[in-house]
Every structure is written in C-alpha cells, then in structure tokens.
Amino acid sequence: MPETAAHLGSGKVRELYALDDERLLLVASDRISTFDVVLPTEIPDKGRVLTGLSAFWFTRTREICANHLLGLRSDGRSMECRRLEMLPLECVVRGYLSGSGWKDYLRSGAISGHVLPVGLRESERLPEPIFTPATKAVTGHDENIDAAQAAELVGEERLAEVEAVSLELYRFAAKHAAERGLLIADTKFELGLDANGRLVLADEVLTPDSSRFWPADAYTPGGPQPSFDKQFARDYCEWLGWDKTAPGPELPAEVVEGTRARYVEAFERLTGVAFAEYASDPDVVLR
C-alpha cells in the first residue's frame, strides 16, 4: 500500500491513488470478477500478471501511441503513471463478433453504426477489425454508440485520431497474440490528453480484464468461446447453480490454481518472459 497517497477510487478489481499533482499509482489487486460480480476468493498473482502485461504492451506500442506509464513498483502490481485528462469514451476494437457486439448485431445487423454482412455467426471473425466506441457507464454496462454520438463527446478531429490509434494498437497486438496461439476477440482502450493536448494511452492495456482472449486452438465460431483465463471459474460457478447475484461463491483450491495457471500462461505466452523472472524484477518487461 502506498505510504502517503490519497485514494482516488476503486474499480471492481483495482485501486487508484494520487502520488502528487502529476502522478498516479494504479494498483491491480488479485480480485476476480465473473458474471459482473467480484468473487470472495482471490487469484494469487493475478494483479502482477495484469500489470506486467500492460507494461509489456506499453513498451512495445510506444511508436503507435505515447502512454502514461512512468514506472513499475517492485511489488509488480503497481504502476506509476502520468496524470491525464481522460476522454469520456471507451475505445473498443472488435475483431470477432462477441459480447454486446453480437447482441447489437442480432438486434440491428450493426455495431456502433458499422453495418455488417448478413449471416455472421456468434464469435465469427469480422471482415476487418472495427472501432465501436462506448459510453463510460458509472453504474451498469457501457453502451455502444455511433460515430456521431462519439464525436459529440470528444469532437470529430479527436475521434478520427482515437479511432486510427485504437485500430492500429489492436492490429499490432492481435498479430503478436495470434503468433503465440491467442486470439484477441476484442479490447478496450482508455485514452487521455496530456497538458499539451497530446493523445496518451492510459489505464491497463491488452490484459485479460480489458480484452477477450480466446485460445486459438479451440476456436470454433457458431457459439460462445471459452475464455482463456476465466473459464474454470465460470464453469465452476455454472456447475454450482449460483444465481449470479452478489455475493459470489468461494472458489475451491483446484479452481483457484487452474485459473492462476491460465493467467500466468497468458503472461508467458505473450511476453516470452517467465513469470518468476517478472516477479523477481518487474522491469524485465520494459526492455
């Protein structure tokens, strides 16, 4: 826990602190949420895996977009970052038809104003990745919005920049992941502006919590795909017959261990770094 930092806010699974006027500390906990409920059982090292993955992607995408990362703390779960003016927009890119995108498509044949071919199946790869911005809901779920609504939030020029950067980040990451046996079905970026009005990539990026990762070897369009990281926990919750209202169930040790192994596997596949190396020196992902 930071010594003299004001707590700014809590997400479901992470915490945000102010270090000073210009710097924030983003701390990823080991909490896990499933079916929108935070479970009472933690997944050891989940926070370190997510922070390490974010730092890895920040390092490899700096030519595409500047980012807020200033440094990693030795705990491996805490990231010092630049304080930004955040854009009031979730920058979602979808390469596959899943989640709210699939629901919108079933209802209207389109997502965020992108009219898609008729007859696509759930989880199908899209003809090309699409930018599907969403509102930032304070409570409840983000809502996909079209380009006109997004332009009202950030302006037309900024929207064009945000869309181009988001698509380029996704293409870069999806290619890297596919070469390592993982599909990135979709992902959400949070962007902000620095004091000079320059666009900066913030928050956590291209982690299992901000993205849908699917194992490529099991990919079978035509229905929902197993989640790379959370499927053990979800399957266990379904098997229990839990009604998906809070509080969620405790997870048994085997489910915790299986889930932890999947997070570590995602980290190692994507970064090429042994998780134990990261744990002993988080800066390995910055090189």
Can you give the binding site for ligand PZK, defined by CB under 6 A? 9-11, 14-16, 24, 26, 68, 81-84, 86, 192, 202-203
- Report the DSSP beta bridge partners of residue 102: none
Say how many C-beta atoms besides its own lie within 10 A of residue 125's C-beta: 14
- Pick 11 or 258: Cβ nearer ligand PZK: 11
CB of 98 vs ligand PZK, minimal distance in Å = 23
CA 197-211-192 angle, to 5 degrees, is: 10
CB of 10 vs ligand PZK, minimal distance in Å = 6
DSSP E strands in 20-67: the ranges are 23-28, 33-34, 37-38, 66-67
- Pick 8 or 115: Cβ nearer ligand PZK: 8
Asked if 56 contacts 161 with a C-beta cutoff of 8 angstroms, the reply is: no
Q: How many residues does the chain have?
A: 287
Asked if 185 contacts 212 with a C-beta cutoff of 8 angstroms, the reply is: yes
CB of 203 vs ligand PZK, minimal distance in Å = 4
- Pick 78 or 123: Cβ nearer ligand PZK: 78
- Pick 86 or 284: Cβ nearer ligand PZK: 86
CB of 82 vs ligand PZK, minimal distance in Å = 6
Please identify which residue in the block is written with the tokens 């800066």: 283
- Pick 27 or 111: Cβ nearer ligand PZK: 27
CB of 13 vs ligand PZK, minimal distance in Å = 8
